[in-house]
Structure 1
């Protein structure tokens, strides 16, 4: 059995290290503090007995658990990222442990009256009687994706200490900067040398995913003209008003808070401006490649219409693709999904096969030649103060890794 106390101790040792990434940085990793956890992980992998442990100049970590069978077994991999999202602070994380969750409200922070409630976050009710790790309400937790790292390291340690469990060669990889879309950019597929891999980067227990959004970022710049407001008639162009026209001209109900399942969206996540210039930062998401293309065209068309209306180029749109739906890369090798599904079933976990409303390193890695479905890591409410994770889900995810390794090694 995998020790509950051991999992908790390892997880807390990771989340209390600040590894927030920075989309405005041009370095890899994007923040120097990511090295603090990267170096710790490389050392820990050596300590538990992993071989070929390496950490490169960009903080990508790889290691090997050699095969303990004589027959040929495909080399599989498990991958997670150690950065946390810049959407909410990851500094000074103070995890709280609530044993035997009673099913009601959890007071995260008495001074600020911050409450984690099942009346709002209904998933909490799945975990009555279990042990929850939460934030103190002032930071995110970092289960995305330090839970995945904890599970992979714990699984490798368990397999090393229980050599009676037969498995082939296993490669593990930990990456920086996944939260800003760069996690796979410097990942050396050839060096990793796996036939396929799994990212441990999903949410609730049972999730198994091989579809994700097509994704792009869009930067919309609106140029105004500032003059003295007392003499502005016919001269001033207020960029903020034009920005408002642009925002309101996009489909109002095609935003994250109004969509689910396979529905795509436009998401305005940052705005800064004054009379002279306003900048809008959007992300564009859609599972359907045709719809994804159409969403980008809508933005360009809207900009052209506003430029025509004002008789000059007041607005520009710069769109950059970030990653694509991995479905078309996974479907030709669906046996790798079948193995993960069977592993869950053998552990009495109900597989929840669905599309990711987001992306993982696996989406980029799949297009780079490493098919890479995504498996649950157990956390909920990522990227914010209400993030939490049931310890029992982390234990189950660790067991799934071990079971996948065991099933892959069965001699045909």
Structure 2
């Protein structure tokens, strides 16, 4: 196998240093201008390496073609440019721990923070690997800049060292995946692939083919504002009503109380004042029909508030995000079978997994483009302990290259 680790390290560290965090409150897409900084860099690098049809779409997706050397279906590869908004992503300082020795990893910008096999069990199987982390006060952004580095490295290899047989490849780097806006309805047609894969997964050998069905919900409670000194019989405190709604939520159906194939209802934001309160939820279930019942429960709780306090106004908005991709991949399992075959050619033991989340592939599959999710090596994502192995990323690069041969054979 070719040693891709040096190139992967260079790309990952450069990409992670760019703040490309998405913003759910932004009405634009991409939701932040910083994502376009990374997008324009990728456009330039793709031009420089000789990719064809390179462009940045008006909806913020970088597209490119790697021409095939043999007839066959066109394969799409995707990774997303944004990083998660749940934790600080400004001023990322990536660093490499070479030849990890199995002990605790400390962080220069937060000495109290410790990454170890006890905290992250996957580390125990990575002794001798080169581990990339941030400095302690930010996430790393390997989700999904590891995927970007993998695909850019594979693209450079295909263009400068042509394989004997290679299927045509279409690349797409998307914005706003972390806030559920990564797939514009125009993307499937613009990508023009027969099937695709996101590189946005975890451990080597994992092939994620099932995900949550997902909705986003927003409840807005409008109360009646009054001077607190003269509020009796006048004020309707929106925050008090929000507290009653929260207290009525089923405690056993939260993320911290569920696992495996159990769905959940997650209150992730509460903002407001006595006059107006806004609650935001994500609703998740592997069964799309069961997902609908979670939305109905929120509507019922909102109606109960109005019944007890008719002077309040309560609105519930539920927005679909994506659906369980297994529903479509069971109908056409060929992308899964090709990925499994390519993994076996690399000596890996492929494993079909469910993901308690979603990817751009979830939405693409729903729109008719089959798109399972493949590994990059990222671990402990969305927080300061995030890490990735350069050797795992190299395996993912080999998987990408093997897939384009697999499809052409």
Band the TM-score falls in, shorter-chain normalisation: over 0.9
- Within a 5 Å distance, the mapping from 1:10-409 to structure 2 comes to 10-69=11-70, 72-109=71-108, 111-185=110-184, 187-409=186-408
For each residue in 1:126-175, what CA deviation from the matched residue of structure 2 results, as whole angstroms up to 9, or x when unmatched? 21221110011111111111111111111122223332441111111111
Q: Is the 8 A contact 1:58 1:186 kept in 2?
A: no
- Per the TM alignment, residue 204 of structure 1 is displaced from its structure 2 partner at its CA by 2.1
Cα distance change, pair 16–365 in 1 and its aligned pair in 2 (3 A): same
Provide the rounded CA distance (Å) in 1 between the counterparts of 2:60 and 2:273: 39
141-150 vs 253-262, which deviates more?
253-262
Aligned CA distance change for structure 1 residues 20 and 111 (closer, same or farther; 3 Å)? closer
Q: CA deviation at 1:187?
A: 4.2
Equivalent pair of 2:110/2:135 in contact (CA under 8 Å): no
Q: CA deviation at 1:229?
A: 3.1
How far has the Cα of 1:110 moved from its partner?
5.4
Q: Which stretches of structure 1, 4 residues or longer, exceed 4 Å deviation after superposition?
A: none
Q: CA RMSD in A?
A: 1.6
Instruction: Note the residue ranges of structure 2 that are not aligned, 5 or more in a row.
Output: none
> Residue deviations 1:222-276, cap 9 Å, x none?
2223333333333332222221111121111211122222111111111112222
- Contact 1:60-1:187 at 8 Å conserved across structures: no
- Counterpart Cα distance in 2 of 1:142 and 1:151: 14
- The whole-number CA distance in structure 2 between the counterparts of 1:194 and 1:102 is 43
* SS of the residue 1:270 aligns to: strand
| 8 A Cα contact 2:223 2:311, kept in partner | no
TM-score (norm 2): 0.95
Aligned equivalents of 2:406 and 2:391: distance in 1?
22
Query: Runs of 5+ in structure 1 lacking a partner?
Result: none
How far off is 1:334 after superposition? 0.2
Work out the CA distance in 2 between the residues paired with 1:189 and 1:280: 33
* Cα displacement (A) at 1:58: 2.8
**Local SS of the residue matching 2:363:** helix
Question: Contact conserved, 1:42 with 1:55, CA < 8 A, in 2?
Answer: yes
Q: TM-score, normalised by structure 1?
A: 0.95
CA distance in 2, matches of 1:309, 1:117: 51
Q: Bigger CA drift: 265-274 or 158-167? A: 158-167
* Alpha-carbon distance between aligned partners in 1 of 2:402 and 2:35, rounded to the nearest angstrom: 31
Q: Which moved more, 1:305-314 or 1:371-380?
A: 305-314
SS state at 2:355 partner: coil
Deviations along 1:346-394, one digit per CA (max 9) or x if unpaired, are 2122223111211111111112221111111211121211111011110
- State which drifts further: 222-231 or 177-186: 222-231
Aligned residues: 408
In 2: Cα distance, 1:408 partner to 1:186 partner: 26
C-alpha separation in 2, matches of 1:111 and 1:12: 20
CA contact (8 A) 1:159 1:165 kept: no
How far 1:314 sits from its partner (Å)?
Answer: 4.0
Closer, same or farther in 2 for the Cα pair 1:361/1:399, shift >3 Å?
Answer: same
Measured in 1, the distance between the counterparts of 2:174 and 2:110 equals 36
Deviates more, 1:216-225 or 1:108-117: 108-117
